[in-house]
Structures are given as C-alpha cells and as structure tokens.
Structure 1
Amino acid sequence: MKAMAATVLVYYDTRMLGHNPHGWDPSHPAWTEAVKAMINLQYPGSNLETYSHPERPERLTAIVDRLMLEPIEGVRWMLPTAVTTSQLERVHDKTYVSHIESLRGDSCWLSKDTTAVSPGSVEAACLAAGAGISAVEAITAGEARRAFCVLRPPGHHAHSDHASGFCLYNNLAVTAAHARESLGYQRVMIWDWDMHHGNGTQEIFYSDPSVLVIDSHCAAPFYPGSGLESERGEGAGIGSQINVPMPLGIDNAALLRVFDEVVEPAARKFQPDILLVSSGFDCHYLDMTCTMNESGFAMLTQRMIDLADELCDGRLVLLLEGGYNAQALADSAHAVVRVLAGNRPVDFQGTHKKGQGLSSNAKVRSENANMNQVASISKSG
C-alpha cells in the first residue's frame, strides 16, 4: 500500500551557484603549501596541478538535477529570502559581518584551509543563511512540517568572528537563533552528522543551555581537530554540547547507533521544540573516507522524523553541509527527500564495502560521559 505523500519544502536558489572559488592564492604562498599538504593527507594521490576547489557549484546542480529527473510527490520547491544583517549579528560579530559584506564582487582567500570568495560568494552566503530561516518560518506558519535546504556555501565551521572550512556564515546557527529569538521556540536541538566536527556551531552555542548540540564526527586529528568528548559546554551551557568522535571508516550501522544510543535519549530528556540537522553527506563511501551509503542517510532521516513527530509536532529542518562527490550528493539527498516526503526507507542495506563501525576506543555508550551531560539539561532550557 502506497504511503500518503507528506509536503516537504525544498529551498534552493540558482544564485548560490555564484559562489565559485577556484585556483591557488599566489599572495599567500604559505597558505598554498598548507592547503596542498591538507589535500594530500585527506585525498592521497590528488593531482595538485589540476585540483579544483571541492566546494564547487556542481554540488548543488547534482542534487537539483536528480530531484528534477526523478521527481518526488510531495516536494514543494521554495525560494529562500536572503538573511538580514540583524539576523546574522545574532550569532556573528558585527565587525565580521561587515568584513564579509565588504567582499561583495571580490575574489580572495580568507584562511589557509581553502576558505575563499569569488564575486558572487557574499550573495550566495546570504541566501544560504536565509534558507534555514525561511524554512522555520514556513513550518511555524503551518505550510509544512519538514524542510530540506539545498545550499552553499556550507556553514558549520564558520565561527562567530571568522570564516573557516569553506564556510562564511553559520547557516544552521543563524537558523537556530532565529527560531529562538523571533519565533518563540524555547529549546532548539541540533544534530550535526557531517563527518567533520562543526566547530563553529559548537563555539557559538557553547554557553547556551537553550540549544542542545549533538555532533558525531571523525575524531581528531581529522579536520578540524576538535570535538573531543570532554568539550561539553561552559557556564550555563555545561552539558549542552555532546560530541561523539568516531574512527575513520564509519558505516551506516555506526551512525544509526549514534542515534539510538545518544541522539534519541538526549532528545527525550531535552524535549526540544524543533529539530535541526547539519546534513553533511561526506560519510558516503564515494567521498572515500567513510563507508556509508544513501540507505543509511534514509534510515537516519526516518528516525529523525519519528523523533520529531513524537516530541515537537513533526518540526524538522535539514540544512546541507559537506559532501563533495556529485553522485554521492545526488543519491543521498534524493534518498533523504524521499523519506521526508513520507516514503518509508527500504529495508536496511549495508555499506558499499565493509566498514569499521565503531572501534572499541571510540564506542558510543548510552551510559558514558556524553549521556551523563544530558542529565543537567532541564526541560525549561
């Protein structure tokens, strides 16, 4: 029996393709060498003479083309509204926002980890940061209960006062702050399942007990080298940051176990008003470092839908983060949107190749220190 389609809002704007940094920066030779060393470490065998920036426009066109060629009943395409300066300044320093704004029309690098801008980058970043806001506003107005934001540049490495990791503005942090300060949500919960630690999101909400951040990622020294279990928040926010560092090679079963043993029980204790996901697809086996496939992302999405339905009237928004293989992005995003639109995922499928899962020294345990953090978070936020 065919399931009834659910409305899922998909936010996208072609102007986000205008962010197109490429090439090396001859004015910063030390940065260039550092970037090449990083690429060699993460992607051995890359031809550095022909290497193109991984955060490229094709990341979005691959997703959109697949959704257009294989349309999903229930999908409603939406245009995001660009973020405003005041909305950005809820999570970013005024001087930083002013600096990024001053780069409109320019091409330059901002840091030695290949974070860069091209002439259309600032406009793209404002649309990307505005997409999540547009989504939570539409959900609050009752237009739908679920949304997926196809956006770039990504955001979870962007700190309050500087760019890093391909990120200019922290899209998800801007969304969470808007949900709290403009829409009246008292408790916002974030799960970042991108394979890189969302160090910017952690920094922004590190002292905020009203925002619970769970971040599962490949353990340091993998980029950005942060996200230790001991990083639990500070001040009033102690216990509101839960890091789950894992080994390289994590597979479908590993991330599903993170949900079962960390995300779900933490959510039940926190009682969020809305769920947000930093949805990176770089754990896909085609990105070479881990061994997930699109089936795993579909299963994760179904679990998040069920959790949202139980705890917060179904309110769930996913924002694209990483993922740099076009095929992996297209397959994973399509699988996720299908589930958001009410199609139950197919029976569990394993990864493309046997993955490590969780090693004994990085095991996710429901009784470990991570879970003990949750006890300090009251329902009142």
Structure 2
Amino acid sequence: MTLHLPDEHGRLRAHEPTTEPLAPTPGTPFTSRTVFAAAHVVADPYADVSPDSPAAVDWDATLAFRRHLWSHGLGVAEAMDTAQRGMGLDWAGAAELIRRSAAEAKAVGGRIACGVGTDQITAGSLAGIRAAYEEQLAVVEEAGAQAILMASRALAATARGPEDYLEVYGPLLRQASAPVILHWLGPVFDPALEGYWGSTDLDAATGTFLQVVAAHPGKVDGVKISLLDARREIDLRRRLPQGVRCYTGDDFHYPELIAGDEKGFSHALLGVFDPLGPLAAEAVRALDTGDPTRFGELLDPTVELSRLLFQAPTRYYKTGVVFLAWLAGHQAHFTMVGGLQSARSLPHLARAYELADGLGLFPDPRLAEERMKNLLSLYGVDQ
C-alpha cells in the first residue's frame, strides 16, 4: 500500500514501500579493515520507571542484537554513547551491560571493545577522576574485553590545561593490561566535552592528543575520532605512530575515510553501523576482495540516511537508531531508556523510514511498513 508520510512543513507525501530487501549473508570478520558497530540497548517496555530512574534493560533482546552484528563479522563497541551512556544508562547499568556482552562475545567468538569512562562521578579532583577511570577499566579487563578510554565530562570540567590530561591519561595507559582505543568525542556529540585535551583550538588539542599516544608506545591500539571533520581526521591519521590505527567515528564521511587514499585509510567504530550492519559488512568485504568500486556502490548511498540520523542536535541520533531497529524487527517496541524515543519529531522519523526503506535495510519490508503505519496512526495520520 501507499504510505502518506509527513514532511517538515506538515504536508503529507506519498511513499511506495519497497518489497525486496537487500539480502547480505552472514560472514567471518574482515581482513582489510577492523570494524566495530557501536550498539544500542533495548529498553524493557514493561518496567515501571520514570525518565529519572535507572535504566531497565531487556537483556535478551539487547544480547540478541549483538549476536546479529557478530554474525555479519562486525565487532561490537559496547557501552558507548550509542548505548546511551550519560543519556539514560548510568554506570551501574553500563557495568552490567559490559559483563553480559563480554560473556556473550566469548560464547560466540565475537570481537568486543567496551567503553571506560568516569560517569559514576560528575566532578572531582584529578586523582578522583583517575580513580573513576581505573574502576571502570578494571571492570572491562576483568570481563575479558578490550578497553576504549572514552572522553570524560568530569575531566573536561576540572582540567585547567593540557598538562591535566597528560596527568590523568598517562597512568591509565601505563597500567592497562592490553592496548586500548583512545576516543576523542567532539562537542557536537556532547556539548560538555568542549575544549577537550585542554584547548578549544583544535590544532592545539590535536597536538596534546598525539602527545599522549606517542608517549605510550605499545599501549594504544588505535584512536577513535568523532569530530565530523574528514580533513582533520585524515591529517591526524597521517601523524599517528606506526602501528596505531585510526578508527573513524565520522558518521558524515565514513565511506571516503574507510576507503582511504594513497597514504592510508581509517578503520571504523561507528554508531551508524548499528542500523547499517549487514550492508556495511557486505561493503567492507568488497574491500577485502579488492573491489573499492563495489564498496562505494553499497556504502555511498547510505550517507544521506546517516546525515539525517546525526543531524543537530547530534546527541539525539540514538532515537533514530533504535527506531530503525524496531522497524527492522530486532525488537518488539519503540521504547528507549530515559524516554528518549520522544527526542525526534514524526517528520524526522518518517524520513528515516523512507530512506532506510529505499536502501533495502529492512529484512521484512512488510513488517516495517506495518509498524510505520501504526506509528503514524498514533500521531493521528490516517492512511
């Protein structure tokens, strides 16, 4: 049937749903790139909670989605901002998520890296911030997962200059039992991280970031850059020490950054690979076989959807990610921890459905169509 979808001006437009999805097949991990999908959490829709309550998670559905990503050869980046860290999921919930997902990864042979932050505190001394990082690092290492050192709101609020970042990160890297991923999350994703690495001047901040990496050889597996600035990422990855990977976190320019150029390429750790997982996997396998043209044919058309999901205010991209998981049948409801399903408008969600449908992202297009129709009816949009 034809669906009538509202646009940003309140007008309805006709959309003919797709009937044939893409059918990428599961496969083993990739050979040409290391690729993580930052995965969302599935809320428990029956829990009697308020937006201020600790997150109530549907563990079965949450872990099933991670098995879905692993089945296509993707690694899972766990307990990151895509999992609503600091936006509905507190440290206690994140710690449980890390333990459960790491155990599941071990059971199925999936790759996993987990976020280490300081969200059990809101402020404090440098020593207190370092202790908070150490507590979380211990949880991740005890679970048998790789650590991702995330940017800290508490450190951003407390630090007075680059030297404070060196004082916190240095001891953490020295004590890490295995090479970690350093994550630079820009203020477009989290305004509280403005001036990270000790300066609002990105050239100066980049210098401090690279200083941290260079001072700890063998301790940094790679760096994840989430600044939505392709040129800056390319410049930074060319300055990394030999053997340190650059993981793109740029949800606007990921095809060109992963494809790379004559001087190198980026690996990937992306929130948008949550909804794009199977298609992204098929694209990266094209690179594995030396077919960059096919890689572009598959991944380039997804950028319009990604730019919509991550449009300002970018931190609310999680709503679109969970919405698409619901339409794709990975969960039975469109409910989010912290009530974040209300963070995007109906026209935004309608456009996300339209673009995802056009890409063939839904394993069962008929199910997606019926669910979209039901959502529209809740908003009073009759078909």
Q: TM-score, normalised by structure 1?
A: 0.30
Greater share of helix residues, 1 or 2? 2
Higher Cα Rg, which structure: 2
TM-score for the superposition, normalised by structure 2: 0.30
